[in-house]
Structure 1
Amino acid sequence: MAILDRINSPKDVKKLTSQELVELAQEVRQTVLHKVSNVGGHVGPNLGVTELTIALHKVFDSPVDKFVWDVSHQTYPHKILTGRKVGFTDGHFHDITPYTNQNESEHDFFTVGHTSTSIANALGLAKARDLTNGKGDRIAIIGDGSLSGGLAMEALNNAGDFDGNLIIIVNDNQMSIAENHGGLYRNLAELRATKGQAENNLFKSFGLDYKYLEEGNDLEALIALFEEVKGIDHPIVLHIHTEKGRGYLPATENKEAFHWRGAFELETGALKATPAGKSYTSIMLDYMDQKLSEGIPLVAINAAIPGIFGLKQFAAKYPERYIDAGIAEQFTITFGGAMATEGVRPIIFHNSTFLQRAYDQLWHDIAINKEPAIIIVKGGVISGSDETHQGSSAMTWISNIPNLKYLAPTSQEEFTAILDWALAQHEEPVVIQLPEHGVESRTTVLTDFSESTYQLEKAGEKVALLALGGLYSHGEKVAAELAEKGIHPTLVNPLFINDLDEDFLDKLTENHEVIVTLEDGILDGGFGQKVASFLGKYDVKVLNYGAKREFNDSVPVSELYDRYHLTPELMAADILKLLK
């Protein structure tokens, strides 16, 4: 009988012998690998903390002792040990969420999918415990990569003033999503090299107690360390050196590729799906290569996610023109914007879900100062992601910041035309929303984007379809559906997310009964509502299509499109009903 068959709660872990704990670690790894190889997921982070997680549950008493996981992309072993192992079996992979979720288990305390939050959360729980005479240790588990986030530094600073029980575990595997960047990692390296004895100690400088463990995948050593600090009466940092991807050779040999990976062949680690061909990120890489050859002073900047944009290839070719700031989204915006004021042309790459962490920097630093940086946004679409990585809000909040141009190309030609214009102008920041429905090709005539100018693609009657960005092809399909019913609509490519072509809209009202907007994001505060607000003074009906303002946890895109009536068939039916 497998050891794991006997584990249904943390109490069962406490009954195991030292040898059984070692066997359990191997079984937990096999269980994690079974799931992620079939449906994809975080590989290396989970494999690296297997022993650490088992030791935590062996020594501490969850949920009285509260474990707060940073990002929580390393919590699969924790979930397996806390009554959720069924979620790692065939037919049940999607029964559990990919991150911690307090609605899923009493052993989780926050829904978390972004970095650098654990210390602040754990400190908040610790302070509340002391104010209410509560019980139990409060334990933050944070990866070394997450330490570069400003919130982690703020929390460490405040933890230095705390006078109660707080245990901060720094899981040091020498990696973020990709390699680590920044001065603090030199100190971590110095601490590793001296077994924690270096005079220069980041954590002690905050006034925190400190202990180092070199063998962070050794169960006996981990258990001894945790037993030593259990019930401690002051904040302490446990700096634990682990191996990312431990126990699976492909994951240790290629740590970045196996941070998160799509479904793969377990024997070799090779992806099961064939990688897509041409993409907007590959077009972007070719474009930057060309511009550098022309002498454009271009710099690519990102915050710890080079793989999403293929920037490793660019970095290898132009190391002096590439900056990975680590998990520090705020910094990339302020830093890049300042570079733009000195004539350098920064292109700042962000995933929509992470860019929201830099809202104030976009508003206060980039926009107020009209710094001509270029910001590329990926993932700002209606998707089937979990709720912590839902990027569909981008168009609502970015489009309401003054002094910037926010554009949604529909094709590779428009994309490069926008880039050409953005690099040539020096008046304002430019945000470009990447389409996410495949690379399309269209003839573009617009080369100057300084003024909002909608593109009339096909003139028609009664109905006007304003299909924005990646949903332009949806607009074409809706037009075809209506044509089959005898209605030949006008088709418009708006291009501009935050600025209206008021003259164009004014003329549309002269010979159209219904004006329809399509956008790949949340409606409230977005493009469609801006159009509808402007058209309120006219005798015309307006239909806005996009997402509701709600969190969706891993709901298939097809289901969301049905819910929001974003399929061509449903939209056409709505339009015909309104015309009647």
Structure 2
Amino acid sequence: MALLTRIRGPRDLDRLTPGQLAALAQEIRTFLVTEVSKTGGHLGPNLGVVELTIALHRVFDSPRDRILFDTGHQSYVHKVLTGRQDFSRLRSKGGLSGYPSRAESEHDVIENSHASTVLSYADGLAKANQLLGKNDPVVAVIGDGALTGGMAWEALNNIADAKDRPVVIVVNDNERSYSPTIGGLANHLATLRTTQGYERFLSWGKDALQRTPVVGQQLFETLHGAKKGLKDFIAPQGMFEDLGLKYIGPIDGHDLTALESALTKARGFGGPVIVHCLTEKGRGYHAAENNDEDRFHAVGKIHPETGLPVSGGGGRSWTSVFAEEMVALGHERQDIVGITAAMLHPVGLAPFAEAFPDRIFDVGIAEQHAVTSAAGLATNGLHPVFAVYATFLNRAFDQVLMDVALHKLGVTFVLDRAGVTGDDGASHNGMWDMSMLQLVPTLRLAAPRDADQVRALLREAVEVKDAPTVVRYSKGTVGPAVPAVGRVGGMDVLRAAEESSGAHRADVLIVSVGAMAATGLEVADLLAARGITATVVDPRWVKPVDRALPGLAAEHRVVVTIEDNGRVGGVGAAVAQALRDADVDLPVRDFGIPQEFLDHASRAEILAEIGLNAPDIARKVTALVATLDATPVKA
């Protein structure tokens, strides 16, 4: 790492020779494999952009020139080149974020970890530069997968509108988002990849024709005047140029000389320009290059030599339980279809796709389109299941509300990575869904507590024909089964309050939501040790509030809700409203996630930090009961 240790900022790159730059690229790849193997993270995307990131920082002067990364999966190399080379706690509490972070460096302009947004940021920055009398270029690095998102094309339409705003759009084309990029845009880019290119053709024509006596110059001018038609024939980049965007490429994204030349031309153009770079996701690491699924898009801790995962104790994931049940449902019902937004493997729909290839639809990074397309499928009698990370459904709220719920359509949304996810930081915590979806009339929302309930609630969800349904569950390993000891209405009773001598009512009703069931039971145990009786119920369906809940609550002195969701407008708020509507006047305490953007750390660390664990909850409930009881609570 002799060269890498000399890089403390982008301008240190200026002193390196071409040979040293190539050696530096290899050092960076070795560094990434070694360090990310220890912590986990986005390995494949970063291995693919080493030369591209070096070239960007040699041609542009960050932070004066703003360099923005769409999604941010590919920002590790940028971090290394801007003085952040301690990856020992990557994505862990107190360590580097897995995405650009404004708190880490002035070189990180946006904390952008949702796709297809960077061009809109760039448009706004360029407009601001123009109004402020600045001519500094804005550079937006966007992957071919992110260009499947409609927001990117809305931004392109606006960027192209001003010919004198210097916006350099670098398309990092590796044919993949997580998995291979799909759709018409992907086919268009594939065409560009496989052509020899108009510019080389025109260069040859110029040289050849201008050597032709008498008519050569005229022929060349005619040829040049017809360049739009030739471009469409030789290399159909006309789609971009029709928008008014200068196109440069395709460029070998691992050729530093070619990259620097193209980026220098783009910088000097003075207006909006696209630089189309062909890169290889996972380049230089045999395990990633040989992985056809996602080229090691994101990995846990792995053995660097083999790429095989380091054993973490095993256990089934929530996602794998859903994946298995979807295949079973697919065999039973011909109307079940699956939808994914460029995340076939991460959300567990790959086995369904393998079993039923004609009944799976990957729409690209286009959640809004996915929801309304699902509405169309449901209108024609099918039952679509859209599996998506909980945090990404935020992007399609209007479509859930107006295109599905308003039309009373049977669409099931399966929300993976709900609640605190931890190491991917604020943007990936799925803490908004149960609050956001409370607003949607007719929608039903289920939160399974264990693997058996994932299966049962998914089956119940797809039986609903006249309203949207949601099944949400956590990231990672599903815990042991949590058996019910009884049922009240549609709610499972997980623990019945023990009889308390002289007491007409039990003390506390604990409503535990989904994966918080184990926490609810632990709270009940801690309360019992203090002489406080508690009933624990799992509503299973948290929206609407079970009709039996107010009556059950009336048999207790205090109601406590525990949810892995934001406190504002969540299940706790809905339960409190249901009690008020039923004239059940009881103290209600809702425990959930504070409405804050949470720093990256492990799930357990975050839950402890925000007080969403059994000891902290039990302490607060004990104090509450003490205020209601004239008799001092047993210490």
The TM-score with structure 2 as length reference comes to 0.86
Q: 458-467 or 493-502, which moves further after superposition?
A: 493-502
* Aligned positions of 1:102-141 closer than 5 A: 102-141=102-141
Structure 2 residue matching 1:261: 3-state secondary structure: coil
Shift, 1:315, TM fit: 1.6
- Cα distance change, pair 211–39 in 1 and its aligned pair in 2 (3 A): same
Structure 1 residue matching 2:15: 3-state secondary structure: coil
Shift, 1:94, TM fit: 5.1
Deviation string 1:420-454 (CA, Å, 9 cap, x unpaired) is: 3333331111111125561543567999xxx9833
* Aligned positions of 1:366-385 closer than 5 A: 366-385=404-423
- Cα distance change, pair 564–72 in 1 and its aligned pair in 2 (3 A): closer
- Cα distance change, pair 52–319 in 1 and its aligned pair in 2 (3 A): same
CA contact (8 A) 1:405 1:428 kept: yes
CA contact (8 A) 2:524 2:536 kept: yes
Determine whether 1:482 maps to 2:483. no
Shift, 1:503, TM fit: 4.5
Determine whether 1:288 maps to 2:326. yes
* Aligned positions of 1:160-559 closer than 5 A: 160-163=160-163, 164-197=165-198, 199=232, 200-201=236-237, 202-254=239-291, 256-274=294-312, 276-385=314-423, 386-436=425-475, 438-441=478-481, 453-460=490-497, 461-509=506-554, 511-536=555-580, 538-559=584-605
Distance 1:356 1:473 in 2: 27
CA contact (8 A) 1:87 1:93 kept: no
- Cα distance change, pair 465–111 in 1 and its aligned pair in 2 (3 A): same
Deviation string 1:235-274 (CA, Å, 9 cap, x unpaired) is: 1111111111111111111150501111111111111135
- 2:611 is aligned, of 565, 569, 574, to 565
Distance 1:295 1:90 in 2: 44
Distance 2:183 2:53 in 1: 28
CA contact (8 A) 1:301 1:322 kept: yes
- Cα distance change, pair 412–38 in 1 and its aligned pair in 2 (3 A): closer
Distance 1:215 1:446 in 2: 64
CA contact (8 A) 1:31 1:88 kept: no
Deviation string 1:505-542 (CA, Å, 9 cap, x unpaired) is: 14422x32111111111111100012223435544222
CA contact (8 A) 1:353 1:391 kept: yes
Structure 2 residue matching 1:245: 3-state secondary structure: coil
- Cα distance change, pair 33–88 in 1 and its aligned pair in 2 (3 A): farther
Q: 479-488 or 464-473, which moves further after superposition?
A: 479-488
Shift, 1:184, TM fit: 1.0
Distance 2:512 2:90 in 1: 40
Distance 1:333 1:148 in 2: 15
- Cα distance change, pair 517–251 in 1 and its aligned pair in 2 (3 A): same
- Cα distance change, pair 89–282 in 1 and its aligned pair in 2 (3 A): closer
Q: What one-letter code is carried by the residue in structure 2 that aligns with 1:576?
A: T
Q: What one-letter code is carried by the residue in structure 2 that aligns with 1:282?
A: S
Q: What one-letter code is carried by the residue in structure 1 that aligns with 2:161?
A: D
Distance 2:578 2:563 in 1: 17
- Cα distance change, pair 308–446 in 1 and its aligned pair in 2 (3 A): farther
- Cα distance change, pair 214–560 in 1 and its aligned pair in 2 (3 A): closer
Deviation string 1:384-439 (CA, Å, 9 cap, x unpaired) is: 13112121111111122112111112233433333333333311111111255615
Q: 267-276 or 60-69, which moves further after superposition?
A: 267-276
Count residues in correspondence: 576
Structure 1 residue matching 2:588: 3-state secondary structure: strand
Distance 1:521 1:93 in 2: 21
- Cα distance change, pair 445–318 in 1 and its aligned pair in 2 (3 A): farther
Q: What one-letter code is carried by the residue in structure 1 that aligns with 2:553?
A: L
Distance 2:76 2:41 in 1: 10
Structure 1 residue matching 2:490: 3-state secondary structure: coil
Unaligned runs of 5+ in 1: none
CA contact (8 A) 1:14 1:57 kept: no
Which residue of structure 2 lines up, in the alignment, with residue 82 of structure 1? 82
- Cα distance change, pair 152–565 in 1 and its aligned pair in 2 (3 A): same
Distance 1:289 1:99 in 2: 34
* Aligned positions of 1:21-36 closer than 5 A: 21-36=21-36
Q: What one-letter code is carried by the residue in structure 2 that aligns with 1:471?
A: M
Q: What one-letter code is carried by the residue in structure 2 that aligns with 1:234?
A: G
- 1:575 is aligned, of 602, 605, 621, to 621
Structure 1 residue matching 2:123: 3-state secondary structure: helix
CA contact (8 A) 1:35 1:93 kept: no
Q: 53-62 or 89-98, which moves further after superposition?
A: 89-98
Q: What one-letter code is carried by the residue in structure 2 that aligns with 1:171?
A: N
Distance 1:456 1:313 in 2: 34
Which residue of structure 1 lines up, in the alignment, with residue 95 of structure 2? 95
Which structure would you say has the larger Rg? 2
Shift, 1:93, TM fit: 9.4
Distance 2:192 2:310 in 1: 40
Unaligned runs of 5+ in 2: 199-230, 498-505, 627-635
Distance 2:44 2:324 in 1: 31
CA contact (8 A) 1:370 1:429 kept: yes
CA contact (8 A) 1:409 1:435 kept: no
Identity of paired residues, percent?
A: 36
- Cα distance change, pair 543–137 in 1 and its aligned pair in 2 (3 A): same
Distance 1:420 1:251 in 2: 36
CA contact (8 A) 2:28 2:77 kept: yes
Q: 384-393 or 428-437, which moves further after superposition?
A: 428-437
CA contact (8 A) 2:451 2:478 kept: no
Structure 2 residue matching 1:71: 3-state secondary structure: coil
Structure 1 residue matching 2:346: 3-state secondary structure: helix
Distance 1:326 1:38 in 2: 31
CA contact (8 A) 1:400 1:498 kept: no
Distance 1:444 1:465 in 2: 14
Distance 2:89 2:536 in 1: 48
Deviation string 1:337-364 (CA, Å, 9 cap, x unpaired) is: 2101211111110101111111111111
Q: 23-32 or 182-191, which moves further after superposition?
A: 23-32
CA contact (8 A) 1:373 1:430 kept: yes
CA-based RMSD of the aligned residues comes to: 2.4
Q: What one-letter code is carried by the residue in structure 1 that aligns with 2:77?
A: P
